[in-house]
Structure 1
Amino acid sequence: MSVDVGAVPVQKAKNFPLYRTVSRFVRDPLRELLRISAAAGGEVARLDLGASHPYLVTHPDHVQQVLRKDSQNFVRDGTFWQPLHGLFGDSIMSEYDEWELSKRILQPVFSTKTIRSLSDHMAQAINDAVRQLDEPAREDRSIEVLPEMGRIVHDTVIKVLFGDKIRQAEADRLIPGMERLATSIAFRFLLPFVPKSIPLPGDRAFAEGLRVMDETLYELVERFRYDPGEGYDIFTALCQARMAEGSGLDDNWIRDNLLAMWATSTETTTVALTWLWPMLDARPDVTERLCTEVREVVGDEDVRPDHLHRLPYVKQVVQELLRMYPVGWIFPRIALNDTVVGGVPVKAGQTVLISPFMTHRLESVWDRPLEFDPERFTPEKNRVRHRYAYYPFGGGPHQCIGRHVFNMEAELILTAILSRFSPSLVATDTPVEARIGATLRPNQPLQLKLRPVDRFR
């Protein structure tokens, strides 16, 4: 959709020149972006990054225009999208016809009926994974949060992605391979305009992680080339689509979608659940109410999907967690045609950055935005909130198709842990802050003590 710029009132974007921001960007890019967002106060801001001058869009009205109303004019393309396209190829994370095809094939996997069929398998995997925390809890040993959350998430996601078709040895290769990709892509993500011929920190580790992922996924595809079998898992759906007569799909397409779904469903969930524990540590009243609800409903049982509808506060806690640390903290769009956003002319080819992380922290949108408060997400408050004041999974046609699986998985994991343990975060010498990258990981390892709960009282 193009807009006649001369037909509507226009204004200049708030400009943040490089000479004023570069030193702060070098020291702490996330803090500087938050400062710029706060200074813009919801107005469209123009960032001067030297080689690039993207617009930062945070106001809910403007976000709605970019992601929904004019979504056909703002596409996942351009310089800032290159690192992700290089990783995920022509998959559900791409654009145009390739995205349409992948979405059409994958959408049924995330239908209500299919999720219901998968939920019992997810719960079993989560209970088995959480049960492995019994030993460090009995021995009064702390656990390192991020790798333990990652282990639980990976064990669960494997069921959704591959059903019973993946061998344990293959899963054991994929997990560290994905970890290597997630941690080494940061510089390419932040500096997408740097040519690949110029080495950046993390390039070598990224290449090694990608090699492991590719070898393992292609071996899996080859093993089920002629008979993918039955199942509700993503791998089966992709293989069956490729085998359909005249599909024109190949092994690369399966690999691209498997890697895209693996990355987006493991890294994001792991990081979100890692941030949960410092959030709860700062609000003992929230933790007490949460534990009371979980233990009254679950008792001495393993957590089941049918418990969740009786755990409204668990849901509110997860929703507030995603306000503080949304699954995608920033993502780019490029304008296909001249248009106007928030009164600011945006020319064809210019980049717009959308950030749930920034919108969710706007004082003009949220009361006490830096405070963790699940009471924001009561049914009454949800009904009156602007649709794009809260969009942890994006919005419009590209809204994450796996968002319902994420919510169920996060709620089951949180419930399983709190039904068995009383957690306490080990104090750190320095403040826990976010480190910028493809996701927002904590800037230091977090340790958690788990005291076993008497579940048979």
Structure 2
Amino acid sequence: MSSSVCQQPASPHSAPGPETAPPQRAISFPVYRRLARFARDPLTEFETIGGQANGAVVRLNLGLFRPYLVTHPDDVQHVLSDDAGRYMREGMLWKPVHRLTGNGISGDGPPWKASREVLRPVFAARHVAALTDLLATTVNEAVDGLDDHATTGKPFDVADEMTRIADLVLGRAFFGGGISAADGGRLGRAVAVAFTSLTARMLLPFAPSWMPLPGDSAFRRAVRTVDEVIDPLVTQRRHQPDAGDVVALLCQVRNEAGQPLSDRRIRDDVVAMYVAGTETTAMALTWLWVALEANPAVAAKLRAEVEQVVGDARPSAAHLPQLRYTRMVIQEVLRLYPSAWFIPRTMLGSDVVGGVRLPAGSTVMVSPYLTHRLPSVWGEDSHTFDPERFAPERAKPHRFAYLPFAGGPHQCLGSQLFMIEAQLVVAAMLSRYRPRLRDDGPVRPQLAVTLRPDRQLAMTIARENQ
């Protein structure tokens, strides 16, 4: 390890030099010398790098692969927003992910721009507001599915149930009644398998596609399942233009030449939206129960708000404005446990970031997970779970210090939809049940494509009136 890293150098943003100062070299972190430690606990090693860099640009020396790590909000803004056209969603992570989601809304360049313009109205505030009643009804139905667990008292897997709820809610919003509950379950499970099976491809981005890696077979099976569920729906909606769901909307879209979008293009955009919506929601709700179990004072305050606002009723759109602390808790969950813990980009041209010259073709990794923990931004207690950070009276941090939904032109379109759904799920569960995680020891995040717990989490619930 270089001595400059060990000495925790000051970030170049804390004491800017002259504008004419020549670019510097990035701090090099020889990861290849610490592979055994990374194999045992990659997250701790990753946090060590971020903490020692203190917001400075770091080059991760992995031997054949040497990406740059960017964590300071000013640099994050430069990469994701100010000069976003130079930083493309290609290479690391994106190549394998595009095998699942295609190259439309989850890609870059002209196809992405066209898809985003088509889909933007779907996630506009007016349309989302119109969906809120449907979301509330579906959330309540989905949470009703936990009644058997409350009756038997048997533990259940938290991530599985949160995924089931997210699948049902997003499936109803995006697909209407076009997919059966059984197929919806198959789709949700396939997406979860696809994400967890990409870990090897993510960690070995230099490996050629022809080289078999762990998880490849499971990924291919998952993609086949996704196609088996979505492709027939696209065909069906071609003949049902008034179905009113997102698939029917895309079937009516015409490109610049006046031609309808291809079935494959519609399939890709639908899958990309569904994947982003269900995975983010399911993982955020899973981490929420972990955070509440570890912070009983927060849990008590949250329950008190739900009892006061919702009472014995079923949560609805009318309750949302009053669930202020609920929203703050969810925001803090997303700060400490962002689903997209890293956001890679490939540079089209050379650039200077944080005073460091980066050559064309480099891989740049933005990490919300590390940026959300910077003491210079969030204070010395940046690792502490504290929803009061998001109280309305608190000063707002740098707008690129908090990016659970990425930022810039590629910021997730569904952030408002997510927040509504998450608040409704929390309110529905706490107004009916007393959820408890089984105490099987500490829970650590696992570095995969998304941030998942490192083990299965078992929960029991009892009805609130028992």
Decide: shared fold, TM above 0.5.
yes
Flag the 1:124–1:248 CA change in 2: closer, same or farther, 3 A: closer
Q: Deviations over 1:248-272 (max 9, x none)?
A: 5201101111111111111121111
**Deviation of 1:140 (Å):** 2.2
CA distance in 2, matches of 1:240, 1:24: 53
Residue 26 of structure 1: aligned partner? 39
**Deviation of 1:50 (Å):** 1.8
**Deviation of 1:175 (Å):** 2.3
1:321 aligns with 2:357: no
Q: Provide the secondary structure at the position in 2 that maps to 1:56.
A: strand
Moved more, 37-46 or 162-171: 162-171
Say whether the 8 Å CA contact 1:80–1:193 is kept in structure 2.
no
Q: Give the TM-score of the pair, scaled to structure 2.
A: 0.92
Residue 375 of structure 2: aligned partner? 363
**Deviation of 1:385 (Å):** 1.3
**Residue 108 of structure 2, aligned match among 77, 95, 105:** 95
Q: Deviations over 1:159-217 (max 9, x none)?
A: 12112222334324322222221221221122222112211111111111111111221
CA distance in 1, matches of 2:212, 2:224: 18
Q: Deviations over 1:352-395 (max 9, x none)?
A: 100101111122221212111101111122x4311111111111
Flag the 1:399–1:226 CA change in 2: closer, same or farther, 3 A: same
Say whether the 8 Å CA contact 1:137–1:450 is kept in structure 2.
yes
Residue 3 of structure 2: aligned partner? none
1:406 aligns with 2:418: yes
Residue 451 of structure 1: aligned partner? 462
Say whether the 8 Å CA contact 1:83–1:192 is kept in structure 2.
no
Q: Deviations over 1:313-336 (max 9, x none)?
A: 001000000001113110111222
1:312 aligns with 2:324: yes
Q: Deviations over 1:220-241 (max 9, x none)?
A: 111222333242x321221111
1:175 aligns with 2:188: yes
Q: Provide the secondary structure at the position in 2 that maps to 1:334.
A: strand
Say whether the 8 Å CA contact 2:81–2:407 is kept in structure 1.
yes
**Residue 55 of structure 1, aligned match among 58, 62, 68:** 68
1:298 aligns with 2:310: yes
Residue 283 of structure 1: aligned partner? 295
**Deviation of 1:69 (Å):** 1.2
CA distance in 1, matches of 2:311, 2:283: 28
Residue 149 of structure 2: aligned partner? 136
Say whether the 8 Å CA contact 1:329–1:357 is kept in structure 2.
yes
1:122 aligns with 2:154: no
Residue 393 of structure 1: aligned partner? 405
Runs of 4+ with >4 A deviation: 242-245
Amino acid of the residue matched to residue 425 of structure 1? L
Q: Provide the secondary structure at the position in 2 that maps to 1:364.
A: helix
**Deviation of 1:66 (Å):** 0.9
Say whether the 8 Å CA contact 2:194–2:218 is kept in structure 1.
yes
Amino acid of the residue matched to residue 271 of structure 1? M
Say whether the 8 Å CA contact 2:198–2:219 is kept in structure 1.
yes
Flag the 1:197–1:363 CA change in 2: closer, same or farther, 3 A: same
Residue 451 of structure 2: aligned partner? 440
Say whether the 8 Å CA contact 2:336–2:385 is kept in structure 1.
yes
Alignment of 1:100-249 (within 5 A): 100-231=113-244, 233-241=245-253, 246-247=258-259, 249=261
CA distance in 1, matches of 2:181, 2:31: 50
CA distance in 2, matches of 1:193, 1:243: 35
CA distance in 2, matches of 1:364, 1:244: 47
Flag the 1:209–1:423 CA change in 2: closer, same or farther, 3 A: same
Residue 3 of structure 1: aligned partner? none
**Deviation of 1:244 (Å):** 9.5
**Deviation of 1:72 (Å):** 1.5
Structure 2: 5+ residue runs without aligned partners?
1-18
Flag the 1:221–1:243 CA change in 2: closer, same or farther, 3 A: farther
CA distance in 2, matches of 1:143, 1:433: 19
CA distance in 2, matches of 1:180, 1:77: 22
Residue 262 of structure 1: aligned partner? 274
CA distance in 1, matches of 2:259, 2:205: 33
CA distance in 1, matches of 2:257, 2:175: 23
Residue 13 of structure 2: aligned partner? none
Say whether the 8 Å CA contact 1:242–1:250 is kept in structure 2.
no
CA distance in 1, matches of 2:396, 2:288: 26
Residue 350 of structure 1: aligned partner? 362
Moved more, 394-403 or 20-29: 20-29
CA distance in 1, matches of 2:430, 2:92: 43
Q: Provide the secondary structure at the position in 1 that maps to 2:238.
A: coil
CA distance in 1, matches of 2:258, 2:419: 36
Residue 337 of structure 1: aligned partner? 349
CA distance in 2, matches of 1:78, 1:433: 28
CA distance in 1, matches of 2:182, 2:163: 17
Amino acid of the residue matched to residue 330 of structure 1? F
Flag the 1:19–1:254 CA change in 2: closer, same or farther, 3 A: closer
CA distance in 2, matches of 1:212, 1:324: 32
Q: Deviations over 1:414-453 (max 9, x none)?
A: 111111112221100x421111111111111111121211
1:70 aligns with 2:70: no
Counting aligned pairs with the same residue, the percent is: 44
Amino acid of the residue matched to residue 73 of structure 1? R
CA distance in 1, matches of 2:419, 2:371: 21
Say whether the 8 Å CA contact 1:119–1:305 is kept in structure 2.
yes
Amino acid of the residue matched to residue 435 of structure 1? Q
Structure 1: 5+ residue runs without aligned partners?
1-5
Q: Provide the secondary structure at the position in 2 that maps to 1:445.
A: coil
Amino acid of the residue matched to residue 402 of structure 1? G
